[in-house]
Structure 1
């Protein structure tokens, strides 16, 4: 990834933070075995500061959209406190197979990591797991798919994926919690649509939105999404194309 590639994905920049439109399929940082990752390119985002920015939170490898970076240690501490206190507003868009029983609601199911016989792991719902809550709302439907807005209240690993699967509507392209055979050639359809940060005490919260990635657009359109309306929504600061004025 070149400096120009990364700067083209820059959604927001000020003295404290940067917000990137993370591409799907690229880890944010290197795993135990190393490999290609987004963090290795942060040197291109110094913009005159002596050190590159650092991750203020994480997105899974296959999730696209809004990713927040702190530009220096003081900014990272401030951002870290906002995330820890649950004061960051996060909106995700998901394309799921089927539909939930209710068009909107809240999933409160604790989650814990479970090792598998093959040597891997997965997240499961369990009474002795960590508390996890996700608000959801169906924005559109079509062709057996649902376009769902998710607002996670906690930040557990794979939270949205497991919670939607528990509702009987697993994510399109979710090889782990969905239909592995049907989704074999599909990427995960999960996008960090917007993020809202009350980082400046005397100013309004900052809300930034990311356009859905190309691999999700056909399914979104099948459920009623419009590229033209989406552009208008992002220009006016709306979080979705179905309910202008929603929080």
Structure 2
């Protein structure tokens, strides 16, 4: 079962558990995912955006192609505001900042991404410190992706020298999970025009 934070005739906001795909993979063993589970209950559920398999948190789905087009347009026009919570290795010195580094897929090592100032697509992440834990040597942060590149938050944090805890792909030590959670979604309801905010507390 997938927990729903919100459901109506236009859209669904689901809670994606860490480790589950957002959409089906290429191979038969990777067909289980959030959207196929939702379609068992809501056959018209369609994907609007994705979260990495390792990431947990809020995932917006449309009901039908018309709503999918309307919600996708909000993403394309950067009218959807997303916030993530993450735990980073090490103690960040600054209290807030941003990372502006262009990204491109690292083809020999895909799905890994890499910074490429010549061919990469622009990517901007804003971050601020929520708490520092000197005993564990970890920093809790809130992340705002201004752009929505693949693995953007993960690579941008690693580029600071503070990878997300558990994110082995980008240089972190192994942990029980990758400590990245999509905690807030703000968007406009495509039918009513009302602003909507959905929140999900981090599970750690």
Equivalent-residue separation in structure 2 for 1:43 and 1:201 (angstroms):
21
- How do 1:54-65 residues align onto structure 2 when only pairs under 5 Å count? 54-65=46-57
Normalising to structure 1: TM-score of the pair? 0.76
Q: 1:44 is matched with which residue?
A: 40
Q: Secondary structure at the match of 2:112?
A: strand
Q: Alpha carbon RMSD of aligned pairs, Å?
A: 1.6
Segments of 5+ residues of structure 1 without an aligned counterpart are 218-247
Per the TM alignment, residue 202 of structure 1 is displaced from its structure 2 partner at its CA by 6.5
Structure with bigger gyration radius: 1
Kept in 1: contact 2:130–2:141 (CA 8 A): yes
Deviations along 1:19-46, one digit per CA (max 9) or x if unpaired, are: 0011110001221113222222123332
**Counterpart residue number, 2:97:** 105
Select the residue among 151, 157, 160 that pairs with 1:164. 157
1:17: which partner in 2?
11
Structure 2 counterpart of 1:76: 68
Aligned partners of 1:85 and 1:211: how far apart in 2?
27
The answer on 1:123 being equivalent to 2:113 is yes
Tell me, yes or no, if the aligned pair for 2:92 and 2:162 is still in contact at 8 Å: yes
- TM superposition shift of 1:111: 0.5
Q: Paired residue for 1:178, among 166, 171, 176?
A: 171
Cα separation, 1, equivalents of 2:111 and 2:5: 34
Report how far residue 201 of structure 1 moved: 8.0
Deviates more, 1:102-111 or 1:193-202: 193-202
Aligned 8 A contact 1:172 1:186 in 2: no
How many residues are paired up?
A: 199
- Higher-RCO chain (CA-CA 8 Å, sequence separation at least 6): 2
Taking the TM superposition and a 5 Å limit, the aligned residue runs for 1:26-45 are: 26-34=20-28, 35=30, 36-45=32-41
Distance 1:171 1:161 in 2: 6
Superposed displacement of residue 99, structure 1: 2.9
Q: CA deviation at 1:204?
A: 4.0
Residue number in structure 2 paired with 1:226: none
Higher strand proportion (structure 1 or 2): 2
**What TM-score results when the alignment is normalised by the length of structure 2?**
0.91
Q: Give 1:120 shift.
A: 4.1
Q: Specify the alignment match of 2:83 in structure 1.
A: 91
Quick one: distance in 2 between partners of 1:101 and 1:204? 39
**Which residue in the other structure is 1:197 paired with?**
187
